[in-house]
Amino acid sequence: MTRLLSPLYLGLLATLCLSQVHAKDASASPVIAPSLQRFVDDHTISGAVTLVVGKDGILNLETVGFSDLKSKTPMSRDAMFWIASMTKPMTSMALMMLVEEGRLSIDDPVEKYLPEFKGQMLAVEKAADHVLLRKPARPVTIRDLLTHSSGLVGKSPLEPGALDVLTLREAVITYAMSPLQFEPGSKWSYCNPGISTLGRLIEVASGKSYAQFMQERLFTPLGMKDTTFWPDKAHLLRLAKAYKPTADKAGLEVTPIMYLSPDLSDRKRMPLPAGGLFSCATDLAKVYAMVLNGGTLNGHRFLKAETLKLMTTNQLGDMKVSFAEGMNMGLGFHIVKTPKGVTEALSPGSFGHGGAYGTQAWIDPTRGLAIVLLIQRANLPNSDQSAMRAVLQKTAVERFGK
């Protein structure tokens, strides 16, 4: 007996077959990986995962090189990476959710929610045996934290090792107890403690732990199943090893992940709002697709479009900011004002953030693309200006740009 298939079923079957063909074609004919192969060959990096995302999801996902040089394990598409400071925009977006709900204002002084900041002083003279302090012209605001213009100390006075033993609340208290390094709002100075203080503000305003809020409001609804502050055993099996140059600069050798204790799965370790996340390409594709879609994905609204617009609008005027030329500073995002050098392939108004071990994620709203580089390379002179980033962005824009 012959069974007649409905037009709907036939259409779905055709779509499935077409998607499989495209997937095979992408795998058989890589367009990004060849441009990065030379960096594997000359031992700049061990390997990489590259990702190009559009509003409808992944446009391209490729790998090059190895996740483990000793075993010659090829880099896999689902490899896990410490994404480091790529965590910062996610923390900032989470805080802005609370701003939208009226629980915070970015122009509020931090001391309104964290009383330990009341009476914080400014260091005006430093010597070997004393520090001269005075009251700052105004207190630190939440906007200052988001734009790296707070003047907070660059690290906890209890470091090294503090991040493994302190809670987030305790770490933030050490920042508040330290004198300000400059008048709030007067200059840009990259500040991990400032972003970690945002994490503590999330806790106070939401009544939940920072990690719980991130999981419930961002990771779970986005379907980011492999994004975590504490990679489990299965994640660790997929974790790309981190490398640094050998002493003679002729090759690469394994290096531990900075800031974090060797037991990466230890949940007693503080979830670091400024740079503690581990993730993979397919998870990151979801958060950047949400951003490209103006704060929504799969019918769920995470942020208002006007909130993302504010976050990606210059907040500091002509102040010199960031680690590349021609940049502005938004709320948690670095913004390309004038494309030049490493950002030459991007449109004005593109925004994003990099990480300590060379990871990069930049969104070009004009072209409707997010371009992501996942590597684990320590001791880069300036990860934001890496040659790998420039080559990836140029290749991705040429192939997928509108």
Claim to verify: residue 195 and residue 216 sit in the same structural domain:
no
Tell me the pLDDT tens digit for each residue of 292-317: 999 999 999 999 999 999 999 999 99
pLDDT band at 26 (very low <50, low <70, confident <90, very high): very low
| Residue 8 belongs to some domain of the structure | no
Nearest to 345 by CA among 377, 367, 312, 327: 367
Radius of gyration of the chain (CA): 22
DSSP H or E run through 236: helix 233-238
Q: What is the CATH number of the domain that holds 247?
A: 3.40.710.10
**Which residue is listed with tokens 């309104």?**
112
Buried b / exposed e across 200-219, counting CB within 10 Å, b at 16+? bbbbbbbeebbbebbbebbb
Claim to verify: residue 205 and residue 215 sit in the same structural domain:
no
Could you tell me which residue, 4 or 100, shows the higher pLDDT? 100
Please say if the pLDDT value at position 3 is more than 70.
no
SS3 377: strand
Q: Are 198 and 273 in contact (CB under 8 A)?
A: yes
| Residue 23 belongs to some domain of the structure | no
Claim to verify: residue 203 and residue 222 sit in the same structural domain:
no
Q: Which of 209, 227, 258 is the last residue before a domain boundary?
A: 209
Domain total for the chain? 2
Claim to verify: residue 333 and residue 357 sit in the same structural domain:
yes
Claim to verify: residue 135 and residue 259 sit in the same structural domain:
no
Report the share of the chain in percent with pLDDT over 90. Answer: 86
- In this structure, of 27-41, 92-106, 368-382, the range with the lowest mean pLDDT score is 27-41
Please say if the pLDDT value at position 25 is more than 70.
no
**Average pLDDT of 177-199?**
97
Query: What is the pLDDT, as a whole number, of residue 139?
Result: 98
SS3 180: strand
**Average pLDDT of 25-53?**
89
Tell me the pLDDT tens digit for each residue of 275-295: 999 999 999 999 999 999 999
Claim to verify: residue 202 and residue 222 sit in the same structural domain:
no
The helix/strand count (H/E) of the chain reads as: 13, 16
Q: Which of 184, 209, 234 is the last residue before a domain boundary?
A: 209
Report the share of the chain in percent with pLDDT over 70. Answer: 92
> Can you give the residue range of the structural domain that contains 155?
104-209
Please say if the pLDDT value at position 21 is more than 90.
no
Q: How far is CA 255 from CA 66, 90, 188, 219, 381, in A?
A: 15, 26, 30, 28, 16
Nearest to 348 by CA among 363, 361, 338, 358: 338
Claim to verify: residue 38 and residue 149 sit in the same structural domain:
no
Query: How is residue 35 written in tokens?
Result: 């441009």
Query: What is the pLDDT, as a whole number, of residue 10?
Result: 37
Tell me the pLDDT tens digit for each residue of 204-241: 999 999 999 999 999 999 999 999 999 999 999 999 99
Q: How far is CA 378 from CA 117, 195, 356, 363, in A?
A: 34, 22, 7, 24
| Residue 309 belongs to some domain of the structure | yes
Claim to verify: residue 235 and residue 323 sit in the same structural domain:
yes
| Residue 126 belongs to some domain of the structure | yes
| Residue 9 belongs to some domain of the structure | no
Average pLDDT, rounded, for the chain: 92
Tell me the pLDDT tens digit for each residue of 241-261: 999 999 999 999 999 998 788
pLDDT band at 402 (very low <50, low <70, confident <90, very high): confident
Please give the Cα distance from 354 to 360 (Å, whole number): 4
Can you list the alpha helix ranges (DSSP code H) found in 131-191? 142-146, 162-165, 168-177
Claim to verify: residue 366 and residue 226 sit in the same structural domain:
yes
Phi, psi (deg, nearest 5) at residue 38 = -65, -30
**Which residue is listed with tokens 């970690």?**
196
Please say if the pLDDT value at position 1 is more than 70.
no
Claim to verify: residue 204 and residue 216 sit in the same structural domain:
no
Nearest to 278 by CA among 326, 333, 232, 313: 232
Tell me the pLDDT tens digit for each residue of 92-121: 999 999 999 999 999 999 999 999 999 999
The model's pTM: 0.92
Claim to verify: residue 228 and residue 368 sit in the same structural domain:
yes
Q: Which of 158, 181, 209 is the last residue before a domain boundary?
A: 209
- In this structure, of 105-109, 152-156, 386-390, the range with the lowest mean pLDDT score is 152-156
Claim to verify: residue 191 and residue 316 sit in the same structural domain:
no
Query: What is the pLDDT, as a whole number, of residue 301?
Result: 98
